[in-house]
Amino acid sequence: MIVKILAVGDVVGQTGLSFLKERLRPLQKERDIAFTVVNGENANVVGITPGQARAILSAGADVVTLGNHTWTRWELQPYLEEELRILRPANYAPQCPGRGDWTYATAFGPVRVINLLGRFTLDANTDNPFPLADALLAENQTRIVLVDMHAEATSEKLAMGHFLDGRVSAVWGTHTHVQTSDAQTLPGGTGYITDLGMTGPARSVLGIRPDQSVRKFLGDPPRRYEQAPGPGKLEGAVFAVDTETGACCGVEPLRVEA
């Protein structure tokens, strides 16, 4: 049986949350989506609160993944222990709250989701995600395995895709908020896209007010990011996965605008 799995790019601010709440369930119905993973680490523009994570789950996400802003909101830490449907990167130190790898029961069998954080140019004290992914998959018994590789460098994301090709169903990149044009099925049967894009203000610089971003690059003193006004958009990708083999048989990038 072929099922469709939707991965949604980083939710940014209230615009992203509102647009997700408005559009996700109709989209799931229209596209016959069986399982949905949403990256939510920018729901508070920088970081995410427990209330915002619950809002993403209520909007229709089966799993919420995070990234380098996981620890921005301290109140999230106990929630990471309580809620199995939210994952932080698995390569944070083991004493950190929460988990970065979990298997979820579905009507078509178990689905394993792994959240990883890249290290190139990201100021995060993490283990190397490559040997960690190897270790996590060493005794894998789950056919459908999905990996959110939250990273800055396209090269690091592409390398992870090829590293895991044939061992997982899909690898997608998050963090850079700009959807890439390389959606593909790799030779070993793993679906891949370097970046899903962003769910948030459509007319922005990565979700932020364009004038604020311009002033930053002109050298103005730093200040708290403000989300851009205006209409929203949702970006991501749909992976068609064979439940018998776990292989991906098609990837379609997705963009929904107001």
Enumerate the active-site residues.
69
Q: CB burial class (10 A; 0-12, 13-18, 19+) of residue 219?
A: exposed
Q: How far apart are CA 198 and CA 177, in angstroms?
A: 5
**How far apart, in Å, are the Cα atoms of 229 and each of 58, 73, 137, 203?**
24, 23, 42, 8
Polymer length in residues for the chain? 258
Report CA 194 to chain centroid distance, whole Å. Answer: 11
| DSSP string computed for 148-207 | EEE-S-HHHHHHHHHHHBTTBSEEEEESS-S--S--EE-TTS-EEES---EEEESSSBTT
- In the numeric block, which tokens belong to residue 61? 């996400």
- Looking up tokens 């970006």, which residue turns up? 235
Q: How far apart are CA 106 and CA 9, in angstroms?
A: 22
Quote the strand ranges of the chain, DSSP E. Answer: 2-8, 10-11, 33-39, 63-65, 86-87, 101-104, 111-117, 144-150, 170-174, 184-185, 191-193, 198-201, 232-242, 248-257
- In the numeric block, which tokens belong to residue 121? 């140019």
